[in-house]
Amino acid sequence: MAYGAKLDDASRRVFVLLSDGECDEGSTWEAVMFSSHHRLDNLVAIVDYNKIQSLGPVAETLALEPFADKWRAFGWSVIEVDGHDHNELYTHLSGLPKTVGKPTCVLAHTVKGKGVSFMERSVLWHYRTPRGSEYDEALNELISDE
């Protein structure tokens, strides 16, 4: 879509939301290389970098670090943000492209299950849905944080 917009000389941007686990896939890096090669500065990849994937921590499944450096090595501009800070996200997303002629990667550092004590940083809640009393407890914690 970003390449098509460039070919059409259209001013629209394309946003892609990725998980850190998806960055273990070769097809992801093929797209990253393609985007840089074609200077797609209308493309923004936002990576939810919560450091948990599938059934374990990213670092144990297939380490990504130095993650930001990898994106830069593939020709992207990189912004690292607190993925829970909406104002910070808005500020950075409003000022795009970060670098003319380069796609932008926003590494949004997040905490899986943030705001719910028994869910935070727990691999279990990467694939499980709270039900019954777990759901009620989670909702109460989120409401009391407001």
Chain segment 38-85, per-residue pLDDT in tens: 999 999 999 999 999 878 888 888 889 999 999 999 999 999 999 999
Residues whose CB falls within 8 Å of the CB of residue 27, separated by 6 or more in sequence, listed in order: none
| Residue tagged 């943000």 (tokens) | 81
| Residue tagged 């941007």 (tokens) | 13
Q: What does pTM read for this prediction?
A: 0.89
| Residue 46 in tokens | 């936002």
Domain with CATH 3.40.50.970 in the chain: 2-110
What is the rounded distance in angstroms from the CA atom of residue 83 to the CA atom of residue 119?
A: 17
How does residue 145 score in pLDDT terms, banded at 50, 70 and 90? low
Quick one: 2-110 is in which CATH superfamily? Answer: Thiamin diphosphate (ThDP)-binding fold, Pyr/PP domains (3.40.50.970)
